[in-house]
Structure 1
Amino acid sequence: MPGDAASCGGGGVNRRPLLVVGGWLVAVLVATGAGVVVTAFLGDAVTGSVSRALSPADVRRSLEASAPSPGTAGSPAAPASPTGPVGPPPASPSRPASSGTPGGTGGAGGKETVIAASGGVVVARCEGGMVTLRSWTPAQGYEVKDAERGPRDKVRVRFQGPSRSEVEVWCRGDRPAFAVRNG
């Protein structure tokens, strides 16, 4: 029966194209997996980058190592503090400028005070009735436009960024007093 043979053979599905496509997919997956495994094991040697996360202690050590000393040119960095700057909170456009005489640190010759403003952080020291800026560090997005280091009767630092921020410092006894103006 010729019709029976044709109906039996003609109704079958040609599986060859499916096997070829399936084989290519398996080859692609194996090659991709091998690439990921090799990159994971070789990491830095292949990619040339360091991908390890730094601990807070690593970050602190790196910042201390890269900070210029107070005797170098430019703006020295303010000392790192695990709890943040000491002194009043920075003034904001919705709050008037602040002033004050926060507690400080220092030796027998005078007191140091850390002053936080929206434009940055300033460290000042009074000694013999004269004030000296020990360091100033602009906040992110700000830069120092003008700084009077001292020693003088009155010193100031101007930060410029999204807004202007100025810190003026003078001595009240052996402690720095200050005014912060934002605008």
Structure 2
Amino acid sequence: MGRRALLGVGGWLAAAVLTTIAVVWAVSLIGTDITGPAARPMTLEEVERALATASAVPSVGPPASAGPGSQALGFSYAEGSVTAACDAGRALLLSWTPAPGYGVDDVERGPAHTASVVFESDDRKTTVSLTCRSGTPVATVRSAVEHDED
């Protein structure tokens, strides 16, 4: 092989290597924009942080059938939040949101003498009961520690 052939092969290899490097660099700059944003699962900490910063209870007004003195009130606890109003002297649960680590086990929305929601975690069950006094919602909270039966 002559010197000219070696220079040709060497030049071709150098061009191939430089082209490969340039393509890899260009693709890394583009990132996931070619196929859209990358989807990855959130970690537990990211989920808890997002839930903690989210608005727990939407802003709502009293139901249309409530009297003029009726008002919606929000109640927040470590286990969750509720918004309630009174409808003709009966409790009406408008919204409920469990805190991170809790779920909703049972809901009695009303209107009824007593409306309620049960927030439950792995080891705790909390019942928020709502009644009406003079057209204003009043909350009562009852918590119990649950034991695993293994």
* Structure 2: 5+ residue stretches without partners: 1-16, 40-49, 145-150
Q: Is the partner of 2:28 in helix, strand or coil?
A: helix
Cα RMSD after superposing both structures: 3.5
Distance 2:126 2:135 in 1: 25
> Per-residue CA shift, 1:74-115, capped at 9, x if unaligned?
xxx8316xxxxxxxxxxxxxxxxxxxxxxx964836211111
Deviation at 1:32, TM superposition (A): 6.0
Structure 1 stretches lacking a partner, 5+ long: 1-26, 52-58, 65-76, 81-103
SS in 2 for 1:111: coil
Q: TM-score, normalised by structure 2?
A: 0.59
Amino acid at match of 1:38: V
Q: Distance in 2 between matches of 1:165 and 1:124?
A: 17
- Judge conservation of contact 2:62–2:86 (CA < 8 Å) in 1: no
- Residue 146 of structure 1 aligns to which amino acid in structure 2? D
Query: In proportion to residue count, which structure has more strand?
Result: 2
Corresponding residue of 1:177: 138
5 Å matches for 1:1-183? 31=20, 34-41=23-30, 43-46=32-35, 48-50=36-38, 78-79=57-58, 106=62, 108=68, 110-162=70-122, 163-183=124-144
The answer as to whether partners of 1:118 and 1:182 remain within 8 angstroms in 2 is: no
Aligned residues: 112
Q: Distance in 2 between matches of 1:79 and 1:171?
A: 21
Greater Rg by CA? 1
Once residues 98 and 25 of structure 2 are traced to their aligned partners in structure 1, the CA distance between those partners, rounded to angstroms, is 42
Extract structure 1 runs of 4+ deviating beyond 3 A. Answer: 29-34, 104-107
